[in-house]
Structure 1
Amino acid sequence: MIRNDEPGRVESVHRALVLLKLMAAQGSLSVTEAARALDVNPSTAQRLLVTLVGDDFAVQGEHKRYEPGPAYPRPAGSGSVPSLRARVRPFLERLFERVEETSHLAVLVGTEIHHLDGIEAVHALRFGLRTGVRLPAHRTSAGKAMLAGLPRHEVDARYTAAALDDRPVVDLDALHRELAGTRHDRIGSNFEESEPGVAAFAVALGAIEGEIAALSIAMPVARYSRGDKERFAAQLLRTAEEARRALLP
C-alpha cells in the first residue's frame, strides 16, 4: 500500500520507483500485481509499466510479465568501467578509416537515437557531425538497425509509451515492414528521412553494458552512388563483428 502523507512527493515518480523495486526483488511483475501493490486501477499500472519499458528501465518478457530492463542500475564492479563511448571509439575510428565518410556511434533511448560520438569526413562536400543530436529512431539508419534487433512487442511498447507522452504517432505496421527489410539486409538505411540531402547506413552492435548501440555512416546524397551501399554494408558488418567479439560476453 502506498502512503500519501509525505509532503513534496511526486506520486507518479514514486509509483514508478515502487514498481522498479518490486521487479528487482521478484524478478518479474504482472500488471495485476503492480496494480495491487500500488492500490490503483490496472490501466494506471499498465501505463506506468509501459513508460518504464519506453525508457529501457523495464522489458516485457514471457506471459506479459515485466522485468528489469537494460537501463535499470546494476551493482558497480570492483574496478572502474570505461564509458561506452571510450570502449567503442577504436572501432568507430576503424570504420572511419575504412570508408572515409562521416561516422557516428549512437544509442537507442526510448524511440530516439542519441549520437554519442562521431568522426567527420574531410571531403569538401560532406555530412557534418551530429554528436549530441537526438533524432527519431524510425527515421534514421542507426535507429532502424537497433529497433530491428528488438522483439516486436518491445518496439510496440516503446512507441505506445511515446504516444502517451504526446509524441507524434507512428504507423507501427509500416514500421514493422521496414524493420523486416532491415533484418533481412542486416543494415539500416536512411535516404533523406531524417533530414534533406543525407544518405546513411548503420549496423547494430547489440547491448553493451545495457546500452543498445549502433555504428553509422553518412554522406551527402549528391555524392552517393549505388555501389556505395554495398561497400558501406560490407565495412559496417565487418567492423560490427570485430566490436562484438571484443566488447560482448
Structure 2
Amino acid sequence: MSAVDPSPPVESVDRALVLLTSLRRGEVLSVSDAAAILGVAPSTAHRLLSSLVFRDYAVQDRDRRYRLGPALIDQRAESLTLSRIRSLAHPALEKLNDDLGETVQVMVRHGRNIRFLDGVECGLPLRVGVRVDDEMPAHCSAGGKAILAAMSAAELDRLYANGLPDWPTARYRDLPSLKRHLSRIRQQGYGANFEETEQGVSGLGVAVRDRLDRPVAAFTVAVPASRFVRSQVPEMRDALLRTANEFQEALHAGE
C-alpha cells in the first residue's frame, strides 16, 4: 500500500466513523440529520446508528435522537483514572482482605458492564476467585449496583435507553424495578448481590467517588453463598465503607 495513495476506505466503516466524529463533538443527531451528513437514505443512516447503539458507542434518547454512548465516554475517563485507581487500590485491597478474610476486588463501570481491575483472594479452600479484566452486567453486581445508585436518573435513562442487558441469574429485568432497588441502595449506602451474577456467589459493594461526587469505582467483597450469612453484613459494610473513604482521600489528594 502506498503511503501517498492509500486504499479507499470501506464505505460502511467510513460512514460509521463520520457519525462517531460528529457524536464526539457533542452533536445530537436524528436519523434525518445523520442521513444528511452522510448523503444516504434514512434507512441506511438508521442501520448505522443502530449498530453504534448495539456496541454502546451511541445511545438513543427519549426524543429518538442519538448522542455519544458510554463506551466512548468511559474510555476518555479511563485514560485519566484507571492507572491511578490500580496503583492506589492494591494496598487497600490487601488490608480489606486481612480485615474480612474473604476475596475482595475493585471494579469500574464500562458501559453497562463492570470490569474487575484488581483483587486479592482469601486463603480458604472454598473461595471466590479474582477475575481481573472480566466483565459482567453492572445491574447484577454488588459493586455495579453501588456505582449505578450514585448516578442520576437521567444518566440511568441514557445508559439503559435500550433496556437492561440479559443475564441468566439477573434479579432485575427492567429499568423501573432496577431504579426502585437503587433507591434502597442509596439509603443503605451499599449494594448487595445474592447469587445474581452467578449461582453460589454473594457479596457487598461500596462506590468510590471523585471530587465532583461522580462514581469512579467500587470495592467489593465476594463470598461463597454457602458461607454467607446476613449477620455478617454490618461488619462487611463497615469495612468496605472505611476502605472506600480512605481510598477516596488518597485519590482526591492526587487530583
* TM-aligned CA distance change 1:219 to 1:21, over 3 Å: same
Cα distance per residue 1:128-164 (max 9 Å; x no partner): 223333222211111111111222233233333577x
Q: Which runs of 5+ in 1 are unaligned?
A: 1-5
Aligned match for 2:197, one of 191, 194, 197 = 194
Aligned partner of residue 126 in structure 2, secondary structure? coil
What is the CA–CA distance in structure 2 between the aligned matches of 1:161 and 1:9, rounded to whole Å?
28
Q: CA RMSD in A?
A: 3.5
| 1:3 counterpart residue number | none
Aligned to 2:4: none
Runs of 5+ consecutive residues of structure 2 not aligned to the other structure = 1-6, 168-172
Q: What residue number does 2:86 align with?
A: 85
Question: Normalising by structure 1, what TM-score?
Answer: 0.73
The 5 Å alignment of 1:47-196 reads: 47=50, 50=53, 54-55=56-57, 66=67, 70-73=73-76, 82=83, 84-161=85-162, 167-168=165-166, 170-196=173-199
2:22 maps to which residue?
22
- CA–CA distance in structure 1, aligned partners of residues 163 and 11 of structure 2: 21
Q: Which amino acid aligns with 1:29?
A: E
Deviation at 1:18, TM superposition (A): 2.9
Question: CA 1:18 to 1:83, structure 2 compared with 1: closer, same or farther past 3 Å?
Answer: farther
Out of 241, 244, 248, the residue aligned to residue 237 of structure 1 is 241
Q: Is the 8 A contact 2:85 2:251 kept in 1?
A: no
- Residues 56-90 of structure 1: CA distance to partner in whole angstroms, max 9, x if unpaired? x7898xxx88468633548x89xxx9453223222
- With over 3 angstroms needed to count, the CA separation of the structure-2 counterparts of 1:168 and 1:197, relative to structure 1, is closer
Between the aligned partners of 1:72 and 1:115, the Cα distance in structure 2 is: 15
Q: Distance in 2 between matches of 1:212 and 1:202?
A: 13
Structure 2 Cα separation of the partners of residues 59 and 72 of structure 1: 19
* C-alpha contact 1:58 1:72 (8 A) present in aligned 2: no
- Over 3 Å counting, the alpha-carbon distance change for 1:15 and 1:212 in structure 2 is farther
1:139 alignment partner, SS class = coil
Q: Structure 1: how far apart are the matches of 2:51 and 2:209? A: 26
Aligned residues: 228
TM-score by length of 2: 0.72
Percent sequence identity over aligned pairs: 32
- Cα distance change, pair 227–43 in 1 and its aligned pair in 2 (3 A): same
Q: Does the 8 Å CA contact 2:145/2:192 hold for their aligned counterparts? A: yes
CA distance in 2, matches of 1:59, 1:243: 35
Q: 1:187 offset after TM fit, Å? A: 0.6
